[in-house]
A = this chain, B = another copy of it.
Amino acid sequence: MSLEKARSLPLSTVHIQDSFWSRYIRLVKDDIIPYQWDVLNDRVPEAMKSYCIHNFRVAAGDMTGAFRGEVFQDTDVAKWLEAVAYTLEAYPDEGLEALADDIIELIERAQGDDGYLNTYFTLKEPNGRWLNLMEGHELYTAGHMIEAAVAYYQATGKRRFLDVVIRLADAIDEQFGPEENKCHGYPGHQEIELALVKLYHVTKEKKYLNLAKYLIDVRGVGKNYFLQEEERPTFKHIFPDFKDYDPVYSQSHLPVIMQNEAVGHSVRAVYMYCAMADLAYETNDEVLMNACTRLWNNMVNKRMYITGGIGSSGILERFTTDYDLPNDENYSETCASIGLALFGKRLAEITKDASYMDVVERALYNTVLAGIAADGRSFFYVNPLEVWPDNCMLGTSKEHIRAVRQKWFSVACCPTNISRTLASLGQYIYFQENDKLYINLFISNKTKVTLGDTELDITLETKFPFENEIELNIKANKCKRASIYIRVPNYAENFHIWVNKKRNEEIPIEKGYVVIEKEFCEDKLEIVFEAPARYVRANPKVRADAGKTAIVKGPLVYCLEEMDNGDNLAAIYADTSQKLLESYDKELLNGTLVVYGKGKRLKDTKWHDDELYKTIEPELEDMTFKAIPYCFWCNRQPGEMMVWLKEHM
């Protein structure tokens, strides 16, 4: 814990040019950000109205009208600006920056003289500020504003937005804290804590770190704050469903350092864990760090889908219990997997242990990417591992499952969250700590790293995840002894490195990274490993997956779709005694590796449609099934989808 932590390289220095990811990053810049801008301005006829800009205009006095939308509607604007910031950092664009500056100016004018900034409370509940932390999302919304402003400042150097959120943070700091005259509450939806740590970093103003620490430390201590709120005679619910509030939902049932299990609303959980990791590092708090590790282990070893999805319950979007991972009724919100990646990245930065990045990579390549259509125009909020469109009916237990991606949502956290994640993907590839450079993800890019007085120009080229050869060309402006840490993924077999064409057999491995320590001048590193498509099983305690198998290749989880395999995927058995066949199809889904397997299918030829139960021997017929990456599902035509296949035993 006394070590320095590794840190991401600035996005401005990491230029991604990758066969797998670049089209999504281009989509963010060229399509998604403009599209989301239109949505925020209610200009997309086929999408639900967002009223986001409308609300700010009304709050700024530019027009009259009422607040519309959800209590946290402002966050869509914040996350859009955050995505814009990351994009601008990597790809400067005057027009986009001017658009962002305009909206920042609007936000500034919507801010109160006292620093308060929230269009819902300003317009709809002016006397309700800070009185419903349980449901009001004020601190959550402020957190997203702060994150966006910090990103925008880092991208552009412009202070206007940063100054807005500094005034906002100061207003919050005046309101919350241990002092007797301050509010001893904390957010119903965590988020501001990690944002305040970011604000501390750019401002060096310790009070923001202290405020973040206060909000984390006070959580779950003594009588639950939200239950206290609820007891006030003037309290009124924003969401009527929240009567009989259970503090577990917002992880406020126990002080955070006493929490051992990932519980409650999964996005709230992981955002809180991120702040806990930040604070554990900043304040060198081993007890808090141990809580992070315990929560991480419980989450990823007992409560996480193979796709990096978390949150097994459709109702309340929450964690349930160990090994409860139903495939067809789970929530597994896209935002939750983004939060999982953010948490894992922090733990990897602190511990420099590559195993965290195995999980981060799993989340990014599967659930996060599945959340967005190949054209960037529609999104999944909920990410089941098995879908039968017929039963995804509104007004039923599967009403949260959508069999096709949606244009927009009334609660639109996920689309904007995906944008900001894709736009900031460069932050996951490299970490640096003094003269050590960590390479976490195999995504082609060019970057420039400053190690002390030396600059390294690095080019990483690969066709990963469909091929597993990575070439690194490193050119130093003057020769420099340094260490390059290259992650050895947990799925890699026969991992080898050639350093300047010489196969290096005895490279040390530290916490999942091979370490190349040498004087770098002009060097070529070639990394090769095998990651064939293979059958994976779940712990038999996972009732939903017992007797089933999933196909993975490297970080990619594969799935079957109806259009490739016919309907009723539940009738298919994988014959795991036979080899999987990999085949790259350059026409399919913008180019993807397809996996074929041998299987058997339950025949239904002896059944009439109006027979439901009878005594009959089941019959199987041989078949070949075709699997595609889960992240690409539902990009052709809607239909059934399935990750976990029955295994013929």
* A contacts, CB < 8 Å to B: 240, 246, 248-249, 297, 300-302, 304, 306, 312-316, 318, 320-322, 324, 326, 328-329, 388, 390-391, 393-399, 534-544, 546-547, 549-550, 568, 570-571, 573, 576, 602-604, 607, 609-618, 620, 646-649
Would B649 and A573 count as touching, CB distance under 8 A? yes
Given the interface contacts A603-B540, A610-B297, A649-B620, does A546 sit within 8 Å of B534 by beta carbon?
Answer: no
B539 engages A395 (CB within 8 Å): no
Q: How distant is the Cα of A146 from the Cα of B217 in the complex, in angstroms? A: 61
Q: Which residues of chain B are near A648, meaning CB under 8 Å?
A: 649
Known interface pairs A570-B543, A602-B546; A395-B246 also in contact (CB < 8 Å): yes
Query: Which residues of chain B are near A246, meaning CB under 8 Å?
Result: 394-395
B396 A320 Cβ-Cβ under 8 A: yes
Pick the 8 closest A-B CB pairs, nearest first.
A313-B396, A543-B570, A540-B604, A546-B570, A301-B610, A324-B391, A314-B397, A313-B397
Task: Verify A399–B618 contact, CB threshold 8 A.
Answer: no
Each complex incorporates copies of this chain amounting to 2
Which of these, B304, B313, B391, B613, contacts A306 with CB under 8 Å? B613
CB proximity of A339 to chain B, nearest CB, Å: 19
Q: Is the pair B612, A304 in contact by a Cβ cutoff of 8 Å?
A: yes
A646 to B570, CA, bound (A): 13
Q: How far is the CA of A320 from the CA of B394 in the complex (A)?
A: 10
CB distance from A31 to the nearest CB of B (A): 33
Query: A613 to chain B: which residues have CB within 8 Å?
Result: 306, 536-539, 550
Q: Closest CB of chain B to A472's CB: distance in Å? A: 28
Could you say which residues of chain B place their CB within 8 Å of the CB of A304? 612
- Cross-chain contact A540 with B571 (CB below 8 angstroms): yes
Q: Are B329 and A391 in contact, with the CB atoms below 8 A?
A: no
A443, chain B: closest CB distance, angstroms: 23
A456 CB to nearest chain B CB (Å): 36
Asked whether, in the complex, the Cβ of A393 is within 8 Å of the Cβ of B297, the reply is: no
Residue of B nearest to A604 (CB): B540
Question: Which B-chain residue is minimally distant from A607 (CB atoms)?
Answer: B539
Nearest-CB distance from A202 to chain B (Å)?
A: 38
Q: Say how far A325's CB is from chain B's closest CB, in angstroms.
A: 9
For A602, the chain B residues whose CB sits under 8 A away are 540, 546-547
* Listed A/B pairs (8) with beta-carbon separation below 8 Å: A248-B395, A302-B609, A306-B612, A314-B397, A315-B399, A324-B388, A547-B571, A573-B649
Please report the C-alpha to C-alpha distance between residue A276 and residue B240 in the assembled complex, in whole angstroms.
38
* Contact of A537 with B395 in the complex, beta carbons under 8 Å: no
Q: For A568, give its contact among B537, B546, B620 (CB under 8 Å).
A: B546
- The CA-CA distance from A202 to B457 in the complex, in Å, is 96
Cα distance A613–B316 when bound, in Å?
26
Q: State how many angstroms separate the Cβ of A379 from the closest Cβ of chain B.
A: 22
A537 interface neighbour in B329, B618, B646, Cβ under 8 Å: B618
Query: Which of B306, B320, B611 lies in contact with A393, CB distance below 8 A?
Result: B320
Bound-state CA distance A240–B603 (Å) is: 46
CA distance A301 to B322 in the complex (A): 36
**Shortest Cβ gap from A20 to chain B (Å):** 22
